[in-house]
Structure formats: structure tokens, C-alpha cells
Amino acid sequence: MAGGTSPVTMAGAITQANAEILAGLVIHQLKNPGAPFIFGAGMSPMDMQSMQPTYSSPEAMVAQAGVCQIGRCLYDLPTWGFGGCSAAKLVDEQAVNEAASYIMMAGWMGTNLVHDVGYLEFGLTYSFDLLVMCDEFIGQVRRMMEGIRVDQEHLALDAIKRVGPGGHFLQDDHTLNHFRDNWKPGITDRSTHETWTAAGATTMGQRAKEKIKLILESHKPEPLDPEVDKEIDGILKTAKTGYIL
């Protein structure tokens, strides 16, 4: 925690974290040369009033980005980081703000393994409600990170000529071929006020609870491929010896 177990400044916390990660990497490779390694650290600065880590503070997010950039650019290693978490005690406005902001930052910084999705209260509490909401946020961020495809088909010059000034694209083949390409929400409401009211005037939190209920009642996980299952069994067996091949 920056200010507690590392320097309070972001640059100082990153410097110490980098040294500690590299020390761990050396021990890791001495034990098992060539084994996969993920580069990452958490450096939330301490709030000096509550003495708690500022779990989703701007400094925590920016410092995480710095560590990810070091791991990716200097060492060519996959990176670990946070996302979808909050210091809030309930799934309230604070939780949504912090969780969504961290997910957006995870997309920007290119974290390979994102941890803590659905965590509340500095990681002491877990919330299915926040998890379902974060699934929505993650879908949005992934779509944004795809960027804009620019080619002859997507520039739609032919469609623009067909429709012409004053026309509309609702019935044009180009619209029919591509409108499903746009991201579709799961629990985000896009209806008119009248339609929303007629459907029960639910909040996102209420719709998240309904989705949780549906998942718990109906979801059936797909079984693992037999070869993957066999490999996992092998890892578990070798782990018992204290040495994983």
C-alpha cells in the first residue's frame, strides 16, 4: 500500500513494485526455468484518515497502468491488474463509478489478466450484483477497444448514394446487413419512458438481480474438453509433489 508499505508517490511505488516483481521472477525461474509468469502488482495508496487502501482511486489506476506498461514494453511479459472493483460497501453509485472506471482503465492499459471483478469493501466483500453489472461494462469496453473498422464496405459510400439527400437508411440493405454488428446490452435500458414504465420501471440493480436469478436457475456450464480435463488432473497431481512441470 503506497504510503504504508511503499513510497506514497506513484513513481516511488512503481519503482519498489518493479524490484519486488523481478525478485519474485528470479525465484520463480530458479525453481522452474521457463515456467509462465505474469507481471503485476497492486499499489493502492492508503487513505490517511481511514487507514484503508483507496481501492479504486485515480492514483491506484494510473500506477497500475505504469506497471503494466513496464511489464509489456520493457520485459515483454503478460500483465496482471485490477478491474470492476470498489471500496463501496454496497452496489451503489460509488460502486458503479469505481468499478466501471477501473474496467475502462484495464482496457486502456491492456491488462492481460484482470482481477477483482465484483469485489466490494477493498476486496473483503463479493457481490453477484456488481459482477453482473460489470459483465455489462466489460462488454461496452471491449466494443470500444475494437475501434472503428474502415474499409469499402464500412465506409458505406454506395449506401449513401442510394439513399441520397433527405432519405433514410432504415430499409437499406447496408443497414440490414450491419445493424447487428453494434453492441447489444443485457441489462441496460434503452426504451422510452412510457415503455420502461409499462415494463415495471425497474432500475439496473433490479434487472441485475433478475439476471442473477435466471442464471442460478437455468445456467448449465459447458463441460471441459476431455484433453483439457486430463491436463488439469496432471497439474494437480504434480502439484502435490511440490513441483509443477
Residue pLDDT, tens place only, 86-143: 999 999 999 999 999 999 999 999 999 999 999 999 889 999 999 999 999 999 999 9
Side chain identity at residue 184, one-letter code: K
Tell me which DSSP letter residue 79 carries: B
Residue with the three cell numbers 525453481:
31
Please check whether residue 53 lies inside any domain of the structure. yes
Which is higher by pLDDT, 10 or 240? 10
Round to whole Å and give the CA distance between 124 and 219: 27
Please check whether residue 1 lies inside any domain of the structure. yes
- Looking at residue 54, its pLDDT comes to 86
- Output the average pLDDT for the chain: 93
Give me 150's grid cell. Answer: 474502415
Domain boundary among 147, 165, 195: 147
Q: pTM (2 decimals)?
A: 0.85
Residue with the three cell numbers 515483454:
76
Q: Are residues 119 and 15 in the same domain?
A: yes
Domain boundary among 98, 122, 147: 147
Q: Are 124 and 156 in contact, with CB atoms under 8 Å apart?
A: no
Average pLDDT over residues 70-99: 95
Please check whether residue 187 lies inside any domain of the structure. no
Per the structure, the count of domains in the chain is 2
Please check whether residue 213 lies inside any domain of the structure. no
Q: Are residues 51 and 158 in the same domain?
A: no
Going by pLDDT thresholds of 50, 70 and 90, the confidence category of residue 244 is very low
Label the pairing between strands 46-47 and 52-53. Answer: antiparallel
Q: Are residues 100 and 138 in the same domain?
A: yes
Domain residues for the domain of 164 are: 153-181
Q: Are residues 142 and 161 in the same domain?
A: no
